[in-house]
Structure 1
């Protein structure tokens, strides 16, 4: 298939009248004949076209008329080859423009690599998720010379994106950890504006192109089998992760650790950001994840009168549902008062949320109410200048919640299925915003509480206190951490952070 391009008809000594074309044609390899197809909606040149699963995708480029009057193309195009006549449709609009780029489709994403824009050559990589039709940015291509990824060539091989710029070493994008690796195989001739043709699941044909000396007529074949094996290991790890791709609550399982081996170690607005989605309201809680869904909480209104629970797709950020619940009590919004600070927890059955206004609630993964309680109605208002900050924690069948404040304080164990208390331990008034840490081993559920002057160890099954240690100061925010047989208790006061041997007070 051939689409668009440019053509000049001026004589050699005349001013260039180079103009973009809208013509589309197809070559029948059996009959060895060309035939015309319906043209592009507008002339376009310096773009890229990709054939994938019976469709043609056109992306990038500009419209040049008579050697001037350039108009950038903000929309890509797609046409279904099964339609007769061929009908070109616009892809979602981009907020960027590029030409002399390359493109390829891998794992359901249309990747657009490098090229040239008004600011010069670029290494930028974007992708269009073909199911959601949403654009996002990917880790920049690691082009090192001034050409960057200008005139690069891209192809999908073995499900992976392979990109060749003006360099001896092509690069492969590892989607498992969002990074680029250099291939062991190298080309003999550096080239740009060439084509890559997949021969099998690891071999690629490098065809034509140009160098600084002129056009190239050489063909090379490179085998990327070693890199395909590396990424297969990442894929297996990723598949294992996907079966247990959960982040169940504040600090995960309470230890700030994940079993996923392929997460990026750094990210920013420019790198390793898969998507960004604005949510309603304001929230200080952490997201929780179960499978393909991520849940967040926030409050809205001058007195936080609306309590919001959001469910988004982990793949692309699409909002799946939004639950709005009236707050049991008004809380005047300010920078000094917590706003949806307690983090929720999630398991295979549902997502469980708690707000500083006292609302405690269970929801299904689809947003249906399982049960709801108002702790302020049951036990009195939440007292204090800065609100409540402690988050929920969980076992397989129960929720835990510590409410330490200027009023009657308490520690709860709540049945997930009914929302009813399994036990309630009343506590002295003690202002704190920390979340207890639960340690589960064999048949034991040991709970460690660090809260404003005291560290306590409790049997979470029964609510019985096993031991306590007082005399601390400044331990009002940090959750305790378990490291081997040590309990690390953080404090904002110098020399009050401690390591305590678990099972003792010493």
Structure 2
């Protein structure tokens, strides 16, 4: 009997050990989340990782800092032990591969003719790369589009302007591409202010070899600077449908993924037919929309309106009240992308205010000024906290929820316009001077 009990105890102990080992391996897998694109693995700015640092100094909770060869606003992306980030290097634009230990592995030239814009607020290294762990796809604002292996070997390249027409946009084509099921999608929304000669397009090409799949005109009655958009296209997906959303030239437009044809569009962010509202000729869209199943949250610009649309529109839904969840007449972010989580939607305004609304009703939960200075980076959410960058280098951490609770405020002391990336317990920040790895000290 004692022998049987001992055997049973040993068997149970071994079983427990295997279960514990399995849980440990599972936890490690969950912890090692890649950040393969702008806005993260699910394209929503949300990380599933927890136990991340909320406070740091230049010494505390800093795993490493590696200087970069020049400025850039692109978010770093991470796959396993590799980080990819674009940067200016004098007049060149380059893609760097840096190990998660903080060592440069390789650097490749993407093009020449870097342009600093708006007094140094941005430059030609603005679109964020994308990776699937085998290849890296990236472009610069002049339109050179590249595909390289993760080891830096060229796969293919072409010039967006040569294929789709010359860009006519003041600060360069900053749109970040979207890759979905082997197809790359981009919005090229630009023009000279004359609707008769507008050259805006939406394009799709093969991620494997760069060959064109389709390109369609993206017509609009926008005027002047409004023809030029700096936002990026996004995917809308739910259990029943998926399509591409482009944002700019006074409209958000839904496109079929197979051939690019227009499904629906909504204006209402820069009214043209309202005698009581003056058309704003400088209302160019920079902030990219956000979506979750059942909801599409659409920013405009310059303290203009915010729309929350239902996803099942058809035709022009601008004046169709049944197509809206709600509309707010002001307080849009000018540059930062909204973040949807937990039945709430968060907006980082460029003046350092955080707006929180109920996703279903649009009811304001709070509007709180939290830091001085300009804010351009889009927020990310991890471990129940929002991480919000400022241009001056301050990083404010705010607890997610319908009440403003500030957890911490940290200062890099370096110019910062890129959104954070999160992978394997580490937060990566790309300042104009360096790439930082922030991780809890062991």
- Deviation for aligned residue 1:490: 1.2
The alpha-carbon distance between structure 1 residues 309 and 468, as it changes in their structure 2 partners (threshold 3 A), is same
- Deviation for aligned residue 1:427: 2.2
Matched, 1:449 2:235: no
Partner of 2:74: 285
The alpha-carbon distance between structure 1 residues 420 and 441, as it changes in their structure 2 partners (threshold 3 A), is farther
Whole-Å separation in 2 of the counterparts to 1:406 and 1:336:
22
Whole-Å separation in 1 of the counterparts to 2:241 and 2:205:
17
Task: Say which of 27, 30, 39 aligns to 1:240.
Answer: 30
Matched, 1:313 2:122: no
Matches within 5 A, 1:106-125: none
The alpha-carbon distance between structure 1 residues 389 and 267, as it changes in their structure 2 partners (threshold 3 A), is farther
- Deviation for aligned residue 1:255: 0.9
Partner of 1:438: 235
Whole-Å separation in 1 of the counterparts to 2:55 and 2:247:
30
Matches within 5 A, 1:463-474: 463-473=260-270, 474=283
The 3-state SS of whatever aligns with 1:274 is strand
- Deviation for aligned residue 1:364: 0.3
1:341, 1:389 within 8 Å by CA — same for their partners in 2? Answer: yes
Matched, 1:476 2:285: yes
Whole-Å separation in 2 of the counterparts to 1:467 and 1:268:
48
Matched, 1:503 2:300: no
Matched, 1:259 2:44: no
The alpha-carbon distance between structure 1 residues 485 and 442, as it changes in their structure 2 partners (threshold 3 A), is closer
Structure 1 spans left out of the alignment, 5+ residues:
1-228
When the two structures are aligned, how many residues end up with a matched partner? 270
2:189, 2:229 within 8 Å by CA — same for their partners in 1? Answer: yes
Considering fraction of residues, name the structure with more helix: 2
- Deviation for aligned residue 1:268: 4.5
Structure 2 spans left out of the alignment, 5+ residues:
1-18, 193-198, 221-226, 271-282, 318-322, 324-442
Whole-Å separation in 2 of the counterparts to 1:396 and 1:348:
15
Partner of 1:410: 201
1:409, 1:428 within 8 Å by CA — same for their partners in 2? Answer: yes
Partner of 1:487: 296
Partner of 2:38: 250
Give CA-to-partner distance per residue, 1:237-289, whole Å, 9 cap, x none.
233332xx221211123211123234334545344322111122321111111
Whole-Å separation in 2 of the counterparts to 1:267 and 1:484:
35
Task: Say which of 139, 158, 161 aligns to 1:376.
Answer: 161
Whole-Å separation in 1 of the counterparts to 2:245 and 2:201:
15
- Deviation for aligned residue 1:495: 5.3
1:459, 1:465 within 8 Å by CA — same for their partners in 2? Answer: yes
The alpha-carbon distance between structure 1 residues 289 and 313, as it changes in their structure 2 partners (threshold 3 A), is same
Larger radius of gyration: 1
Task: Say which of 455, 462, 472 aligns to 2:259.
Answer: 462
The 3-state SS of whatever aligns with 2:66 is coil
The 3-state SS of whatever aligns with 1:376 is helix
Partner of 1:89: none
Structure with more contact order per residue of length (Cα contacts < 8 Å, sep ≥ 6): 2
TM-score normalised over the length of structure 1: 0.49
The alpha-carbon distance between structure 1 residues 337 and 482, as it changes in their structure 2 partners (threshold 3 A), is closer
- Deviation for aligned residue 1:376: 2.0
- Deviation for aligned residue 1:311: 0.5
1:297, 1:340 within 8 Å by CA — same for their partners in 2? Answer: yes
Whole-Å separation in 2 of the counterparts to 1:442 and 1:232:
31
Whole-Å separation in 1 of the counterparts to 2:89 and 2:106:
16
Give CA-to-partner distance per residue, 1:280-322, whole Å, 9 cap, x none.
2321111111111110011223xx3x220100112x1111111
TM-score normalised over the length of structure 2: 0.56
1:249, 1:344 within 8 Å by CA — same for their partners in 2? Answer: yes
Partner of 2:108: 323
The alpha-carbon distance between structure 1 residues 331 and 276, as it changes in their structure 2 partners (threshold 3 A), is closer
Task: Say which of 208, 212, 225 aligns to 1:421.
Answer: 212
Partner of 2:134: 349
Structural RMSD (CA): 2.7
Matched, 1:275 2:44: no
Give CA-to-partner distance per residue, 1:377-409, whole Å, 9 cap, x none.
223332222222211111131111111122522
Whole-Å separation in 1 of the counterparts to 2:304 and 2:229:
19
The 3-state SS of whatever aligns with 2:106 is strand
Considering fraction of residues, name the structure with more strand: 1
2:110, 2:146 within 8 Å by CA — same for their partners in 1? Answer: no
- Deviation for aligned residue 1:453: 1.0
Give CA-to-partner distance per residue, 1:432-481, whole Å, 9 cap, x none.
11111213456843112221310111222321211101121346011111
